[in-house]
Amino acid sequence: MLAAHPHRDVWRIAGPALIANSTGPMVAIVDTWAIGHLPDPVLLGAIALAGFVFSYIYWAFGFLRMSTTGLVAQAFGSADHVRMDVVTLRSVLLGIAIGLAVLILQLPITRLAFAVFAPGEELAGHVQQYIDIRIWAVPVVLVRVAIIGFLIGTQRARTALLLELILNLTNAALNLLFVVVLGWGVAGVAAGSLIAEWLAGLAAIAILLRLRGQPLLQHLKDRLFWRLAAFKHLLAVNTYLFIRTLFLLGAFAFIYRTSTQLGEVTLAANHVLLTFTTLISLGLDAMAYAAEAHVGNAIGKQSRERLRQFVRITFFWALLMSVGYALIFGFAGNQIIAVLTDQLPVRAAAAEQLLLFALLPVIAVWSYQLDGIFIGATKSADMMWTMLIAFAVFIPMLYWLTADYGNHGLWIAFLVFFAVRGIGLFSRYPLMVNKVFSRNQG
């Protein structure tokens, strides 16, 4: 059965997600602005590398949101509230366990980060300071991520928006206070993130308990809930997503490492441009979230026509947004760079890559949107294999092109990485749809 008002249904999820996603990049922009106007460019590089360490951690375990969204959306579509609650609770418990493991392993994680990025002595000191402060928020962040997966899967996007607003607006305000007013520098950025992440995490827990507290507590008392075999499907979906995300983050790690080798000015310039990628993800991720929820819901309802309907509509809006972003960065990129940093060498280095960067949204949109579709279908194995292929193409191209063309080569390789991902998932889409519905019919 087709949806009567599909565009409205899409924007009921994409609209709040767009607003929520908008506040996230605003925090990164505030951080970059606050540090970027300090006289030492090393501080901006420190925020770039230290922030990436936490992005790596949170993105690596972002499968908690993705798998929860897909599985909950399918259960929600079929009105199976027991399965919906069980998936959510197991994801929350898994988030707590992973978070505690990260705290225990924080020393080797930091050493690994330094081995990968090879920062200089002064840069390493600032990065270490940031990590030592912010690391203590990891468990509650992963719990919040799992709960957001539940909220998107049950199409409660406005509630998810509330949590993101709490996180990002608090974070931005505290960073301005700690860095600009109190002059705490890198430590101020880390402290602001720590406090905001705990506040948002506690709010997420309170919301989940208010919505589903009683049935969730009942499941905790059920011995069958704790059987390892009962976690099998969740763990299988998560394992594929985890491997996929590790290689995605590996690509970004090589971008940062190569940028470091090209010099501190290039590192700072690429950090500014990569901050723009968070702006691009405003709309692209919002439409991907809508695809996740509606594709999963259509599969739960066992409606192939409904799935195709929402795939078409979310793709339409995502492509429209990608063209808009390309035009904005193509024509106003220099002005946006000037807002983020006063350092003329950094501005010049970033401006040299604007033409290539403007191509990024129209190339990346395919992988963003197809990721959302495959997440909703919980077909994470396809996502993993296409990511492995893209990574295998990206790494040699990065080295060859950077050796010959410097930072231009780096950005060309980055574009190829997204293109290969999109082509790979697009080629798997028809087979994925047939498998999903033949499985459900069986």
Work out whether the CA dihedral 190, 191, 192, 194 comes out positive or negative: positive
Q: Rounded mean pLDDT of 330-340?
A: 84
Is pLDDT at 180 greater than 90 in this prediction?
A: no
pLDDT at residue 412, rounded to an integer: 95
Q: Rounded mean pLDDT of 4-19?
A: 84
Q: Rounded CA gap, 299 and 379, in Å?
A: 12
Q: Rounded CA gap, 352 and 234, in Å?
A: 45
- Percent of the chain residues topping a pLDDT of 70: 92
Is pLDDT at 38 greater than 70 in this prediction?
A: no
- Percent of the chain residues topping a pLDDT of 90: 32
442 pLDDT band (50/70/90 cuts)?
A: very low
Is residue 354 a contact partner of residue 332, using CB atoms and an 8 Å limit? no
pLDDT at residue 341, rounded to an integer: 75
Is pLDDT at 291 greater than 50 in this prediction?
A: yes
pLDDT at residue 220, rounded to an integer: 80
User: Which is nearest to 289 in space by CA: 80, 66, 74, 78?
Assistant: 66
Is pLDDT at 48 greater than 70 in this prediction?
A: yes
**C-alpha distances in Å from residue 133, one per residue of 182, 190, 191, 196, 250:** 17, 6, 6, 13, 24
Task: Report the mean per-residue pLDDT for the chain.
Answer: 85
Q: Rounded CA gap, 153 and 56, in Å?
A: 24
**Helix (H), strand (E), coil (C) string for 31-88:** HHHHHHCCCCHHHHHHHHHHHHHHHHHHHHCCHHHHHHHHHHHHHHHCCCHHHHHHHH
Give CA 272 to chain center in angstroms.
18
The string of pLDDT tens digits covering residues 106-164 is 888 888 877 877 677 777 787 888 888 889 999 999 999 899 999 998 988 889 888 98
Is pLDDT at 278 greater than 90 in this prediction?
A: no
Considering 127-131, 292-296, 436-440, the range whose residues carry the highest mean pLDDT is 292-296
pLDDT at residue 1, rounded to an integer: 65
pLDDT at residue 423, rounded to an integer: 96
Q: Rounded mean pLDDT of 200-211?
A: 93
Angle value at C-alpha 95, between 219 and 279, nearest 5 degrees: 130
Is pLDDT at 334 greater than 50 in this prediction?
A: yes
Q: Rounded CA gap, 163 and 183, in Å?
A: 28
230 pLDDT band (50/70/90 cuts)?
A: low
pLDDT at residue 437, rounded to an integer: 82
First and final C-alpha spacing in the chain: 20
**Helix (H), strand (E), coil (C) string for 74-111:** HHHHCCCHHHHHHHHHHHHHHHHHHHHHHHHCHHHHHH
pTM value?
A: 0.81
Q: Rounded CA gap, 383 and 374, in Å?
A: 7
Is pLDDT at 25 greater than 70 in this prediction?
A: no
Burial 45-70, CB ≥16 within 10 A → b, else e: bbbbbbbbbbbbbbebbbbbbbbbbb
Q: Rounded mean pLDDT of 307-315?
A: 93
